[in-house]
A and B are shown apart, each in its own frame.
Chain A
Amino acid sequence: MELALEILPQVLLDGIVLGFMYALIALGYTMVYGVLEFINFAHSEIFVLGAFVGVEVLLLLQSAGYLAILHPLIILLLVIVASMVISGFAAMALERVAYRPLLGGPRLVALISAIGASFFLQDGLRLFESLWRNTFYLNYPSLEFLDQTVPLAANLVIPVKSILVIVMALMTLAGLYVFVNRTKLGMAIRAVAQDPDTASLMGVPVNQVIALTFFVGGALGGLAGVLFGIHYSLVNPYTGFIPGMKAFTAAVLGGIGNIPGAMVGGMMLGLLEAFAASYLSLMTDGAFGAEYKDVVAFLVLILILIFRPKGLLGETVRESKA
């Protein structure tokens, strides 16, 4: 019991960091679902692409010798902006190539195309990195600034990396909230999510708004990718699958199509997973350990879908039109 209390702050911190990451990825799923009613299965690859852009920018800076000269905050800004922009455009391109020709058809057709896109992008990234760097397992170069820690209490040391994740995520989420609720473009996104046909009649350019939604979702995924890479260091083209699935679970948990829901769901799933990873083996005397955290996450998904298919905050979900 004492041990359980002792590790509690650390577990909470891990859970919050993980939760913010899931929330950022989940927003991409949920926004696209909001406007198109379809699961963008390839979003996890957009997330990985962000991580790869981040590591490439850092490695390029390193080989050019700028990594030691520039202020760490400028480096971070550069990395984050580059990966958000590239991921955002990649998501737009994906929508243009693989999804738009299928709009209006059965939803399964679009989903299958998305799965194909996901697989294609995984190996595409692998091929590119193999030819470019001769390996596709890349390590983030360590930044001295990020490896520091801030001691907060006797049993809680906060790494700067975690602070970075939390601060960046909070800023982005606030920015997204303002964008969606207070700007004209945000209003257009909400209008298309509510009713694309009527929005179109009111003069909203639906296709452009859909592309914009993909851009925003992709950029958030790219940000999550960089933060993931900085936090866990190692990335490969296949890292995205499990975080992507979890983030989708988070989106469903909060009510898919619902932006605050994705944030709440991501946070809940992150905390749940951190608790499962740390306490499962304590509770079962080591019989079941941290390796069951994925199982816990998917059991949550199944239970939510059975008992509350609209999610925790999901009143806004429409009935299927198909």
Chain B
Amino acid sequence: MNSKLATLGLCAYIAVSCLFAFFFPQSVLAFLSVEASLLLLYYVAAPRRVKIFLGALVLVVLLPVLGSVNGYYLEVAIQIGIYVALALGLNIVVGFVGLLNLGFVAFYAIGAYLWAIFGSPQANAFIPGGFFPLSPNWFFVFLLLSIVIGALTGALLGLPVLRLRGDYLAIVTLGFAVVVRALVNNLDKPVNLTNGPRGISPISKPPLFFQPLLEFFGLHVAEAKLYPIYFYFLILVMVCTIILVTRRLENSRIGRAWKAIREDEVAAAAMGVPIVRMKLLGFAVGASFASAVGVLFAAKQVFINPESFTFMESIGVLAMVILGGMGSIPGAILGATGVTILNLQLLKGMSLWLNGLRQSGAELTIPLLGSYSLSQLPAQFEPAKYERMVFGLILILMMIFRPQGVLPPTRERKQ
């Protein structure tokens, strides 16, 4: 009886929030309430089938519809998807195996540059013949290729350094990210591989293989409108695949070996867990996720340059994993969503709001202290520019007060 009531309430909430967002497409609050419905879905005590159905309804039908009203919604959703995928990848390395990887963004960059170089005229600079850009149909081939290459680079980096103690490993991975970024930044000579700081564009988008089907049904959608929805579904499929793979891995022999290593390496070795091989596997799996997401990112952005792959990104993803709870899949998803919304919507919203206040020329009157003209607010004070401060605070406060994260893994919760 109770669960029926909950389901009903949930449906009502989803309907109301979607209508709200539909009729007030500019409101950040409205979209947040739609996003919150997914969180609610996770907590409400409804039957599993109902939950999956409602979740799919929101993600597959309602969000794209809302996105066609306000394109920014889809943009935010795609960004969230990208970060969820990255956080899930890092969660394997940091959360399951317990190795702090500060250079995770390097693998993301490798994937992105893989498609950027061959999916744009860039490769003509060092492979003669004018074969490039490759036709969009190659996108999916490169998606698969990036998984292999990401895993290989992950293993290659891991091979020499995985014997190191925890904090040394962290610094070496950080160094690796700096090296990759320096290479990407400077490999425009002697051979122009990456076009240096100017970046690469235009990068081919994935093929619209379903367009004949749409036309068969008499649907004519302009490409500019179609691509965001297409990317949204691509990232949705990717995230679902990653979740599925991660869940299967977590409960497998491999996942148990990873957690054993995390808890006590010596004891795990004594129990016959092949430490180095398992650590390498964890590194490789995480790296391959990041690299695949990178391919999608490059195709979505059309233009990439080294600025997208700074240390900041690595720390951002780390903050997501830690906020959600290391080693927890729902945690990583929640953390990635929360931090991305904070970054893209809340901080930006606050900046806009402050700018509005500044221009309105209103006066703030504090009793006893006199009045203060808001137009005098320093122009440098813009919340959107202080994301490092926010990430830093998240990391410190979480470590001191709740090191297990907001949604810790179930097994630890039971203990």
Contacts and interface: CB of A to CB of B under 8 A. Distances in A.
Contact of A102 (B100, B102, B179, B399): B399
B388 A113 contact: no
Interface in B45-101: 98, 100
Contact of B165 (A118, A295, A320): A320
Interface string A75-113: 000000000000000000000011001100101111111
A291 interface: yes
Main secondary structure of the interface of B (DSSP, over half): helix
A101 B400 CA distance: 7
Nearest to A299: B179
A109 B394 CA distance: 13
A303 to B, nearest CB: 9
Contacts of A322: 165-166
| Chain B, interface residues (CB within 8 Å), range | 35 or more
A97 B393 CA distance: 12
Interface stretch (A13-21, A123-131, A173-181): A123-131
Task: Please indicate which of the listed interface residues A39, A136, A289, A295 has the most CB atoms of chain B within 10 Å of its own CB.
Answer: A295
Contacts of A241: 311
B185 interface: yes
Contact of A306 (B160, B171, B175, B322): B160
A320 B315 CA distance: 26
A145 interface: no
Contacts of B380: 127, 130-131, 134-136
A119 B322 contact: no
Contacts of B160: 302, 306
B318 A112 contact: yes
A12 B295 CA distance: 44
B386 interface: yes
Contacts, number: 138
A116 B399 contact: yes
B5 to A, nearest CB: 41
Main secondary structure of the interface of A (DSSP, over half): helix
Contacts of B183: 295
Contacts of B399: 102, 109-110, 112-113, 116
Given A111-B100, A245-B178, A305-B168, A287 B391 contact: no
Interface in B381-410: 381, 386-389, 391-396, 399-400, 403
Nearest to A319: B165
Contacts of B315: 115, 119
Contacts of A109: 399, 403
Contact of B394 (A97, A116, A301, A309): A116
A258 B322 CA distance: 32
A108 B171 contact: no
Interface in B272-313: 311
Contacts of B394: 116
B403 A98 contact: no
Given A113-B395, A113-B399, A298-B178, A38 B388 contact: no
A252 interface: yes
A213 interface: no
B311 A38 contact: no
B393 A116 contact: yes
Nearest to A285: B190
Task: Please indicate which of the listed interface residues B178, B189, B315, B318 has the most CB atoms of chain A within 10 Å of its own CB.
Answer: B178
Contacts of B387: 123
A101 B318 CA distance: 21
A233 B331 CA distance: 45
Given A111-B170, A120-B389, A127-B386, A245 B175 contact: yes
A25 interface: no
Given A111-B167, A112-B399, A134-B380, A123 B386 contact: yes
Contacts of A127: 380-381, 386, 389
Interface residues of A, number: 53
Contacts of B175: 245, 249, 298, 301-302
Contacts of A291: 182, 185-186
A118 B392 contact: yes
Nearest to A131: B378
Contacts of A112: 100, 318, 322, 395, 399
Nearest to B312: A119
A288 B187 CA distance: 9
A302 B182 contact: no
B388 A120 contact: yes
Contacts of B178: 242, 245, 294-295, 298
Given A116-B393, A287-B190, A291-B185, A108 B166 contact: yes
B167 A108 contact: yes
A122 interface: yes
A38 B190 CA distance: 41
B164 interface: yes
A279 interface: no
B392 A119 contact: yes
A287 B192 CA distance: 11
The 9 closest A-B CB pairs, nearest first, are: A116-B395, A120-B392, A130-B380, A119-B392, A123-B389, A298-B175, A287-B190, A116-B396, A113-B399
Interface of A: 38-39, 97-98, 101-102, 105, 107-113, 115-124, 126-127, 130-131, 134-136, 241-242, 245, 248-249, 252, 287-289, 291-292, 294-295, 298-299, 301-302, 305-306, 309, 320, 322
23 contacts: A105-B403, A107-B167, A108-B100, A108-B166, A108-B170, A109-B399, A115-B392, A115-B395, A116-B393, A116-B394, A120-B392, A120-B396, A123-B387, A123-B389, A124-B389, A245-B171, A294-B178, A294-B179, A298-B175, A301-B175, A302-B161, A302-B175, A320-B165
